[in-house]
Amino acid sequence: MSDVREVRVAGIDCGTNSIRLMVATVGERGMRVEVPRIMRVVRLGQDVDKTHRFADDALERTYRAIDEFADVLREHPVDALRFVATSATRDAQNREEFEDEVEKRLGVRPDVIPGTEEARLSFLGATSVLHTQFGDQLPPAPYTVIDLGGGSTEMVIGGDGTDVSVDQVAAAFSMNIGSVRMSERHLLSDPPTRNEIDQAVADINEHIDEAFEKVPAWRTGTLIGVSGTVTTMTGIALGLREYDRDAVDGAVIGFADACSTCEKVLTMTRAERREYPVIHPGRIDVIGGGALVWNCVLNRIGDAVRDHTRRVLNSYVTSEHGLLDGIVLDLGRRTLAAR
Protein backbone atom coordinates (compact mmCIF):
# COMPACT_ATOMS: atom_id res chain seq x y z
CA MET A 1 0.00 0.00 0.00
CA SER A 2 1.29 3.46 -0.95
CA ASP A 3 1.86 5.91 1.88
CA VAL A 4 2.10 8.93 -0.48
CA ARG A 5 -0.14 11.72 0.76
CA GLU A 6 -2.23 13.50 -1.85
CA VAL A 7 -5.54 15.29 -2.32
CA ARG A 8 -7.78 15.98 -5.29
CA VAL A 9 -8.66 19.64 -5.67
CA ALA A 10 -10.21 21.91 -8.26
CA GLY A 11 -9.61 25.52 -9.16
CA ILE A 12 -11.69 27.98 -11.14
CA ASP A 13 -10.11 31.11 -12.58
CA CYS A 14 -12.84 33.62 -13.40
CA GLY A 15 -11.28 36.47 -15.34
CA THR A 16 -12.49 39.41 -17.37
CA ASN A 17 -12.67 37.53 -20.67
CA SER A 18 -12.65 33.82 -19.84
CA ILE A 19 -13.41 31.33 -17.09
CA ARG A 20 -11.39 28.15 -16.62
CA LEU A 21 -11.64 24.96 -14.56
CA MET A 22 -8.97 22.42 -13.69
CA VAL A 23 -9.11 19.34 -11.46
CA ALA A 24 -5.82 17.86 -10.25
CA THR A 25 -4.29 15.63 -7.64
CA VAL A 26 -1.67 17.42 -5.56
CA GLY A 27 0.77 15.46 -3.43
CA GLU A 28 4.26 15.52 -2.06
CA ARG A 29 5.57 14.61 -5.52
CA GLY A 30 3.85 17.47 -7.29
CA MET A 31 0.65 17.97 -9.26
CA ARG A 32 -1.08 15.54 -11.63
CA VAL A 33 -3.91 16.88 -13.78
CA GLU A 34 -7.06 14.74 -13.56
CA VAL A 35 -9.40 16.81 -15.73
CA PRO A 36 -7.62 18.92 -18.38
CA ARG A 37 -8.29 22.65 -18.37
CA ILE A 38 -11.72 23.59 -19.58
CA MET A 39 -11.94 27.16 -20.87
CA ARG A 40 -14.98 29.16 -21.88
CA VAL A 41 -14.88 32.72 -23.20
CA VAL A 42 -17.73 34.48 -21.38
CA ARG A 43 -16.64 38.14 -21.41
CA LEU A 44 -17.77 38.70 -17.82
CA GLY A 45 -16.03 42.07 -17.91
CA GLN A 46 -18.11 43.36 -20.83
CA ASP A 47 -18.40 47.18 -20.38
CA VAL A 48 -17.32 46.98 -16.72
CA ASP A 49 -14.56 49.54 -17.38
CA LYS A 50 -17.29 51.98 -18.48
CA THR A 51 -20.32 51.09 -16.32
CA HIS A 52 -18.63 49.51 -13.25
CA ARG A 53 -21.38 46.88 -13.34
CA PHE A 54 -21.76 43.37 -14.73
CA ALA A 55 -24.06 43.30 -17.77
CA ASP A 56 -27.01 40.92 -17.53
CA ASP A 57 -26.02 38.99 -20.66
CA ALA A 58 -22.43 38.68 -19.40
CA LEU A 59 -23.71 37.17 -16.17
CA GLU A 60 -25.89 34.70 -18.05
CA ARG A 61 -22.97 33.54 -20.20
CA THR A 62 -20.88 33.06 -17.08
CA TYR A 63 -23.61 31.18 -15.24
CA ARG A 64 -23.94 28.75 -18.16
CA ALA A 65 -20.24 27.98 -17.94
CA ILE A 66 -20.44 27.61 -14.15
CA ASP A 67 -23.31 25.13 -14.53
CA GLU A 68 -21.15 23.15 -16.95
CA PHE A 69 -18.31 23.16 -14.43
CA ALA A 70 -20.71 22.01 -11.70
CA ASP A 71 -21.59 18.96 -13.84
CA VAL A 72 -17.89 18.14 -14.25
CA LEU A 73 -17.29 18.45 -10.51
CA ARG A 74 -20.18 16.10 -9.75
CA GLU A 75 -18.45 13.52 -11.93
CA HIS A 76 -15.08 14.21 -10.32
CA PRO A 77 -15.59 14.89 -6.58
CA VAL A 78 -12.83 16.90 -4.95
CA ASP A 79 -11.51 17.46 -1.44
CA ALA A 80 -11.46 21.23 -1.94
CA LEU A 81 -12.60 23.79 -4.51
CA ARG A 82 -11.46 27.39 -4.87
CA PHE A 83 -13.25 29.86 -7.13
CA VAL A 84 -10.98 32.85 -7.80
CA ALA A 85 -12.36 36.03 -9.36
CA THR A 86 -10.07 38.77 -10.58
CA SER A 87 -10.13 42.18 -12.28
CA ALA A 88 -13.72 42.48 -13.56
CA THR A 89 -15.20 41.30 -10.28
CA ARG A 90 -12.95 43.64 -8.29
CA ASP A 91 -14.38 46.55 -10.31
CA ALA A 92 -18.07 45.60 -10.46
CA GLN A 93 -20.44 47.37 -8.07
CA ASN A 94 -23.02 44.56 -8.38
CA ARG A 95 -20.54 41.81 -7.59
CA GLU A 96 -22.50 40.62 -4.54
CA GLU A 97 -25.29 39.43 -6.82
CA PHE A 98 -22.71 37.45 -8.79
CA GLU A 99 -21.09 36.03 -5.68
CA ASP A 100 -24.46 34.90 -4.29
CA GLU A 101 -25.38 33.16 -7.54
CA VAL A 102 -22.04 31.38 -7.81
CA GLU A 103 -22.37 30.12 -4.23
CA LYS A 104 -25.86 28.84 -5.00
CA ARG A 105 -24.70 26.94 -8.08
CA LEU A 106 -21.32 25.65 -6.87
CA GLY A 107 -21.51 25.64 -3.09
CA VAL A 108 -18.46 27.92 -2.72
CA ARG A 109 -18.29 31.68 -2.61
CA PRO A 110 -15.96 33.42 -5.06
CA ASP A 111 -12.67 34.56 -3.60
CA VAL A 112 -12.18 38.02 -5.10
CA ILE A 113 -8.43 38.35 -4.81
CA PRO A 114 -6.32 41.53 -5.02
CA GLY A 115 -3.92 41.98 -7.89
CA THR A 116 -0.88 41.17 -5.75
CA GLU A 117 -2.34 37.76 -4.85
CA GLU A 118 -3.18 37.18 -8.51
CA ALA A 119 0.45 37.94 -9.34
CA ARG A 120 1.76 35.55 -6.67
CA LEU A 121 -0.39 32.68 -7.91
CA SER A 122 0.50 33.34 -11.56
CA PHE A 123 4.18 33.30 -10.64
CA LEU A 124 3.74 30.03 -8.74
CA GLY A 125 1.98 28.41 -11.68
CA ALA A 126 4.50 29.56 -14.29
CA THR A 127 7.66 28.71 -12.34
CA SER A 128 6.38 25.35 -11.06
CA VAL A 129 6.84 23.74 -14.49
CA LEU A 130 10.23 25.15 -15.50
CA HIS A 131 11.98 21.86 -14.70
CA THR A 132 9.44 20.04 -16.88
CA GLN A 133 9.93 22.50 -19.73
CA PHE A 134 13.73 22.85 -19.58
CA GLY A 135 15.07 19.96 -17.52
CA ASP A 136 18.36 20.71 -15.80
CA GLN A 137 19.16 23.53 -18.22
CA LEU A 138 17.03 26.12 -16.48
CA PRO A 139 16.97 29.62 -17.94
CA PRO A 140 18.69 32.32 -15.90
CA ALA A 141 17.00 33.88 -12.85
CA PRO A 142 15.47 36.14 -11.72
CA TYR A 143 12.23 35.19 -13.45
CA THR A 144 9.75 37.90 -14.33
CA VAL A 145 6.24 36.64 -15.04
CA ILE A 146 3.74 38.76 -16.97
CA ASP A 147 0.12 37.62 -16.73
CA LEU A 148 -1.73 39.62 -19.37
CA GLY A 149 -5.45 39.30 -18.71
CA GLY A 150 -8.59 40.93 -19.99
CA GLY A 151 -8.85 43.60 -17.30
CA SER A 152 -5.48 43.62 -15.57
CA THR A 153 -1.86 42.69 -16.21
CA GLU A 154 0.32 41.40 -13.40
CA MET A 155 4.09 41.95 -13.32
CA VAL A 156 5.97 39.87 -10.77
CA ILE A 157 9.65 39.12 -10.29
CA GLY A 158 11.17 36.37 -8.18
CA GLY A 159 14.40 36.03 -6.33
CA ASP A 160 17.92 35.80 -7.73
CA GLY A 161 18.69 32.51 -5.97
CA THR A 162 21.10 34.18 -3.55
CA ASP A 163 19.22 36.59 -1.34
CA VAL A 164 15.79 35.23 -2.26
CA SER A 165 14.94 31.80 -3.67
CA VAL A 166 14.18 31.86 -7.40
CA ASP A 167 10.70 30.46 -6.78
CA GLN A 168 9.77 33.14 -4.25
CA VAL A 169 8.15 36.44 -5.18
CA ALA A 170 10.41 39.44 -4.58
CA ALA A 171 8.06 42.15 -5.92
CA ALA A 172 4.73 42.32 -7.71
CA PHE A 173 2.32 44.87 -9.12
CA SER A 174 -1.06 44.68 -10.84
CA MET A 175 -1.75 47.13 -13.66
CA ASN A 176 -5.32 47.99 -14.72
CA ILE A 177 -4.59 47.32 -18.38
CA GLY A 178 -5.62 44.30 -20.40
CA SER A 179 -7.03 43.11 -23.69
CA VAL A 180 -10.68 43.88 -22.94
CA ARG A 181 -10.06 47.09 -21.02
CA MET A 182 -7.78 48.62 -23.69
CA SER A 183 -10.02 47.51 -26.56
CA GLU A 184 -13.18 48.93 -24.99
CA ARG A 185 -11.48 52.10 -23.77
CA HIS A 186 -9.42 53.05 -26.83
CA LEU A 187 -9.49 50.73 -29.87
CA LEU A 188 -13.02 51.42 -31.03
CA SER A 189 -12.52 51.51 -34.81
CA ASP A 190 -12.09 48.47 -37.06
CA PRO A 191 -9.16 48.51 -37.60
CA PRO A 192 -8.07 50.96 -34.89
CA THR A 193 -6.87 54.37 -36.01
CA ARG A 194 -3.36 55.63 -35.33
CA ASN A 195 -4.78 58.18 -32.89
CA GLU A 196 -6.60 55.44 -30.95
CA ILE A 197 -3.41 53.38 -30.84
CA ASP A 198 -1.34 56.34 -29.66
CA GLN A 199 -3.82 57.09 -26.86
CA ALA A 200 -3.77 53.44 -25.78
CA VAL A 201 0.04 53.35 -25.80
CA ALA A 202 0.17 56.46 -23.58
CA ASP A 203 -2.30 54.82 -21.18
CA ILE A 204 -0.34 51.56 -21.10
CA ASN A 205 2.99 53.30 -20.56
CA GLU A 206 1.63 55.24 -17.59
CA HIS A 207 0.74 51.95 -15.93
CA ILE A 208 4.10 50.39 -16.77
CA ASP A 209 5.83 53.44 -15.27
CA GLU A 210 3.89 52.82 -12.06
CA ALA A 211 4.74 49.11 -12.11
CA PHE A 212 8.45 49.85 -12.55
CA GLU A 213 8.36 51.89 -9.34
CA LYS A 214 7.42 48.69 -7.47
CA VAL A 215 9.00 45.94 -9.55
CA PRO A 216 12.71 46.06 -10.52
CA ALA A 217 12.05 44.61 -13.96
CA TRP A 218 15.56 45.65 -15.04
CA ARG A 219 16.86 42.69 -13.03
CA THR A 220 14.98 40.21 -15.25
CA GLY A 221 17.04 37.18 -16.24
CA THR A 222 14.19 35.37 -17.99
CA LEU A 223 10.83 36.81 -19.01
CA ILE A 224 7.86 34.43 -18.91
CA GLY A 225 4.54 35.34 -20.51
CA VAL A 226 1.27 33.67 -19.58
CA SER A 227 -2.40 34.12 -20.56
CA GLY A 228 -4.46 33.77 -23.71
CA THR A 229 -3.07 36.87 -25.37
CA VAL A 230 0.54 35.77 -24.97
CA THR A 231 -0.06 32.18 -26.04
CA THR A 232 -2.06 33.38 -29.05
CA MET A 233 0.71 35.76 -30.12
CA THR A 234 3.19 32.92 -29.76
CA GLY A 235 1.05 30.60 -31.87
CA ILE A 236 0.89 33.20 -34.65
CA ALA A 237 4.63 33.93 -34.40
CA LEU A 238 5.31 30.19 -34.76
CA GLY A 239 3.17 30.09 -37.89
CA LEU A 240 0.78 27.49 -36.51
CA ARG A 241 -2.20 26.66 -38.73
CA GLU A 242 -4.27 25.90 -35.65
CA TYR A 243 -3.66 26.27 -31.95
CA ASP A 244 -1.30 23.61 -30.54
CA ARG A 245 -0.85 23.77 -26.78
CA ASP A 246 2.20 21.50 -26.80
CA ALA A 247 3.96 23.56 -29.46
CA VAL A 248 3.26 26.82 -27.64
CA ASP A 249 4.10 25.77 -24.08
CA GLY A 250 7.77 26.49 -23.37
CA ALA A 251 8.36 28.11 -26.77
CA VAL A 252 11.02 30.83 -26.77
CA ILE A 253 10.11 33.78 -28.99
CA GLY A 254 12.38 36.65 -29.93
CA PHE A 255 11.18 40.16 -29.20
CA ALA A 256 11.54 41.18 -32.86
CA ASP A 257 9.25 38.37 -34.05
CA ALA A 258 6.85 38.99 -31.18
CA CYS A 259 6.56 42.72 -31.78
CA SER A 260 6.02 42.33 -35.53
CA THR A 261 3.31 39.77 -34.77
CA CYS A 262 1.67 42.12 -32.29
CA GLU A 263 1.71 44.98 -34.78
CA LYS A 264 0.20 42.77 -37.47
CA VAL A 265 -2.63 41.56 -35.24
CA LEU A 266 -3.28 45.05 -33.85
CA THR A 267 -3.80 46.56 -37.31
CA MET A 268 -5.94 43.73 -38.71
CA THR A 269 -9.67 44.10 -39.15
CA ARG A 270 -11.85 41.69 -37.20
CA ALA A 271 -12.69 39.92 -40.44
CA GLU A 272 -8.99 39.38 -41.11
CA ARG A 273 -8.46 37.98 -37.61
CA ARG A 274 -11.20 35.43 -38.24
CA GLU A 275 -8.99 33.95 -40.96
CA TYR A 276 -6.52 32.84 -38.27
CA PRO A 277 -7.71 29.63 -36.57
CA VAL A 278 -5.03 30.19 -33.91
CA ILE A 279 -7.11 33.09 -32.57
CA HIS A 280 -10.01 31.85 -30.45
CA PRO A 281 -13.32 33.26 -31.77
CA GLY A 282 -14.00 34.78 -28.36
CA ARG A 283 -10.83 36.88 -28.61
CA ILE A 284 -11.35 38.27 -32.12
CA ASP A 285 -12.57 41.70 -31.00
CA VAL A 286 -10.15 42.20 -28.08
CA ILE A 287 -6.92 40.50 -29.11
CA GLY A 288 -5.68 43.77 -30.62
CA GLY A 289 -5.75 45.43 -27.21
CA GLY A 290 -3.86 42.51 -25.72
CA ALA A 291 -1.31 42.56 -28.53
CA LEU A 292 -0.66 46.25 -27.91
CA VAL A 293 -0.15 45.72 -24.18
CA TRP A 294 2.24 42.83 -24.85
CA ASN A 295 4.19 44.85 -27.40
CA CYS A 296 4.62 47.73 -24.94
CA VAL A 297 5.61 45.43 -22.06
CA LEU A 298 8.26 43.65 -24.15
CA ASN A 299 9.82 46.89 -25.36
CA ARG A 300 9.78 48.56 -21.95
CA ILE A 301 11.31 45.59 -20.09
CA GLY A 302 13.93 45.06 -22.80
CA ASP A 303 14.89 48.74 -22.63
CA ALA A 304 15.02 48.67 -18.81
CA VAL A 305 17.37 45.67 -18.76
CA ARG A 306 19.66 47.27 -21.35
CA ASP A 307 19.71 50.70 -19.71
CA HIS A 308 20.40 49.41 -16.18
CA THR A 309 22.71 46.46 -16.84
CA ARG A 310 23.88 46.69 -20.47
CA ARG A 311 22.65 43.13 -20.87
CA VAL A 312 20.51 42.14 -23.84
CA LEU A 313 17.11 40.58 -23.09
CA ASN A 314 15.57 39.82 -26.45
CA SER A 315 13.28 36.82 -25.99
CA TYR A 316 10.56 35.48 -23.72
CA VAL A 317 9.37 32.04 -22.66
CA THR A 318 5.73 31.22 -23.33
CA SER A 319 3.88 29.30 -20.62
CA GLU A 320 0.50 27.63 -20.63
CA HIS A 321 0.81 27.48 -16.84
CA GLY A 322 -0.24 30.57 -14.94
CA LEU A 323 -2.94 31.64 -12.54
CA LEU A 324 -5.09 28.50 -12.79
CA ASP A 325 -2.13 26.20 -12.10
CA GLY A 326 -1.13 28.42 -9.19
CA ILE A 327 -4.66 28.32 -7.74
CA VAL A 328 -4.77 24.51 -7.87
CA LEU A 329 -1.23 23.91 -6.63
CA ASP A 330 -1.58 26.41 -3.77
CA LEU A 331 -4.97 24.98 -2.74
CA GLY A 332 -3.63 21.42 -2.83
CA ARG A 333 -0.64 22.29 -0.69
CA ARG A 334 -2.76 24.11 1.86
CA THR A 335 -5.30 21.27 1.98
CA LEU A 336 -2.52 18.74 2.56
CA ALA A 337 -0.97 20.88 5.29
CA ALA A 338 -4.31 21.07 7.11
CA ARG A 339 -4.63 17.29 7.36
pLDDT digits (tens, 9 = 90+) for 22-39: 999 999 888 999 998 999
For the stretch 112-153, pLDDT in tens is 999 999 999 999 999 999 988 898 899 999 999 999 999 999
For the stretch 48-101, pLDDT in tens is 999 999 999 999 999 999 999 999 999 999 999 999 999 899 999 999 999 999
**Domain 129-320 carries which CATH code?**
3.30.420.150
Question: What is the assigned CATH class of domain 6-114?
Answer: alpha beta
Which pairing describes strands 222-226 and 143-148: parallel, antiparallel, or unpaired?
parallel
- The predicted model scores a pTM of 0.95
Percent of the chain residues past pLDDT 70, beyond the cut: 99
For the stretch 212-250, pLDDT in tens is 999 999 999 999 999 999 999 999 999 999 999 999 999
Which residue, among 208, 202, 200, has the nearest Cα to 179 in the 3D structure? Answer: 200
Q: Return the pLDDT at 1.
A: 38
pLDDT band, residue 289 (cuts 50/70/90): very high
For the stretch 43-61, pLDDT in tens is 999 999 999 999 999 999 9
Q: Return the pLDDT at 263.
A: 98
Same fold, 6-114 and 129-320: yes
Domain boundaries, the chain: 6-114, 129-320
Q: In this model, does residue 3 exceed pLDDT 60?
A: no
Contact 42, 66 (CB under 8 A): no
